[in-house]
Amino acid sequence: MRKSGQRLLSILAAVGTAAAMAVQGAVLASPASAATGTGCGSVAQPTVAGATIQSMSTADKGADLLLNVPAHCEVTLYLTHPGDGDKVQVAVWLPTNGWNGRFQGTGGGGYAASLQLGDLSLGPNVSTLPSAVQEGYAAAATDAGIGFNPLSPTAWALKADGTVNTGLLTNFAHRSIHDMTVAAKQIVASFYGRQASYSYWNGCSTGGRQGMMEAQRYPGDYDGIMASAPAINWDTFVPAELWPQVVMNDLKTYPSACKFKVFTDAAIAACNGGDTVAGGLISQPETCGFDPKSLIGKVIFCDLTFQTITAKDAEVVRRIWEGPTSADGQQVWYGLPKGAAIDMVAGTTSDLLGRRSGSPNSLIADWVRYFLLKQPSADIAAVTPTQLVSLIGQSQAEYKEVIGTGDPDLTAFKNRGGKILGWHGLADQLIFPQGTVDYYKRVQNTMGGAASTNDFYRLFLAPGVGHCGIGGNGPVPTNVLASLVNWVENGQAPATLTSSTTSLTEGTITRNICLYPEVARYNGQGDRKLASSYHCAA
């Protein structure tokens, strides 16, 4: 696997950890007294509309000291959808002591329906389930019938005749998460003798998209949804993020990660507004006017050699920040935010002779190969800027309805009392935050304005934070799920999210992440590393 693929896999693997970390912290009082299960043998088989249960097994699991997982009943369910020939696995973990009365659905990352940590062959039992059970939740995960590879849909995207496997795509897009939730709630009720008092969704990236899809398509499934760095607008942003590779191929210029970092660091230095903590944080990347052309001619020490930044290097970066544009100059989608690492979407590699070429992110490239071109061996390097714009349009036309996850009408979810807590890093190198902001604004326009939307859906933007908290310099939101629980059960809507990070040179750094559209402003005095030295302002 190429270095870029290894880095992507490590980030996607860490997404589950990031989502799990959001659970940690102060656990709110349980809505009911601690419950004790009566043994796995008492679990009744659930029913799921539109699906056939193939088998169900149970296993009593003792406490695992290595993983810090308490004793629990583990239920494994297999189901299929008639006519699709799929086999979907659902795993439900039920604490045998100290159940907090709540149910938690756990999300995935990349092309994995419920993200796997460690050995991908182990199945959903190594997802965020351990962390959820540690906190006293009954929890569930699913493989959606597509396996456990977050990097690529190679194993399931196309049928033998070369057509798209629409059944499995539907599973991945939304059906399997709903099925999992319906089945798991019945299993919880059977095991404990009563239904969960509250149900929560916990997901980042693909998991964030799944949570938003639940609110849009299945508003009755969850009382609270934590949707971090959500991969909404999937039909548009995934093919659009091939743009950096197309630009490099168009200009025949392939800067290394080291050279790209020079541009990123320069943008941060120019646009941090004096916020130099943790190497500098950009609170509003969309207003950053740093021009990459200002670095032309600069000599840098990079990749063990002295190099000069060229006009083509600067033009590559400018177009990556600008985002895909049509032949008449119209912006088709957003570009990479200034301050985010460039090389995750603009990966390059070098051969033994030192000749550089593009190294496409497999998650992005395979969407184009399998779902748009329907040709697994297609040469992505041959795609021109004009062709990519056409492919983005094709993706929207063919897949918006099944996986776009961009419906701003959340009336049913709001009316049933549901709450959504979303956050997105402003240095996200995989899912650009402008797409989330665009969706949030469309929700406001649909749901009666900012105040009406904030009553049930709140968005927080974290300066300098990378994808799901991985990468970047900024303090990462903490205890997000606990804040959501407090909002749902006690009516206390969060005005800020606590965040923290640790710097080798500066120690612990804390910051309060403000409710969009406000940003944190320095008070003019006090330690810049402490949240107490800032306030939220327009």
Active site residue 81: no
Catalytic residue from among 205, 228, 283, 359: 205
Active site residue 362: no
Beta-ladder partners of 104: 139, 200
DSSP states along 262-293: HHHHHHHHHHSTT--GGG---S-GGG----GG
Looking up tokens 């496997």 gives 165
Q: Are 165 and 159 in contact (CB under 8 A)?
A: yes
Looking up tokens 């593009």 gives 358
**3-state secondary structure (DSSP) of residue 413:** helix
Distance from CA of residue 130 to its chain's centroid?
19
Neighbours of 32 (CB within 10 A): 14
**CA nearest 436: which of 413, 412, 457, 464?**
457
Catalytic residue from among 152, 428, 499, 533: 428
Looking up tokens 């190594």 gives 126
Q: Are 182 and 92 in contact (CB under 8 A)?
A: no
Residue 338: CB partners within 8 Å, gap ≥ 6?
A: 264, 267, 268, 271, 282, 285, 288, 290, 321
Q: Are 485 and 224 in contact (CB under 8 A)?
A: yes
Active site residue 119: no
Catalytic residue from among 467, 483, 499, 533: 467
Enter the DSSP assignment of 394: H
- Enumerate the active-site residues: 205, 428, 467
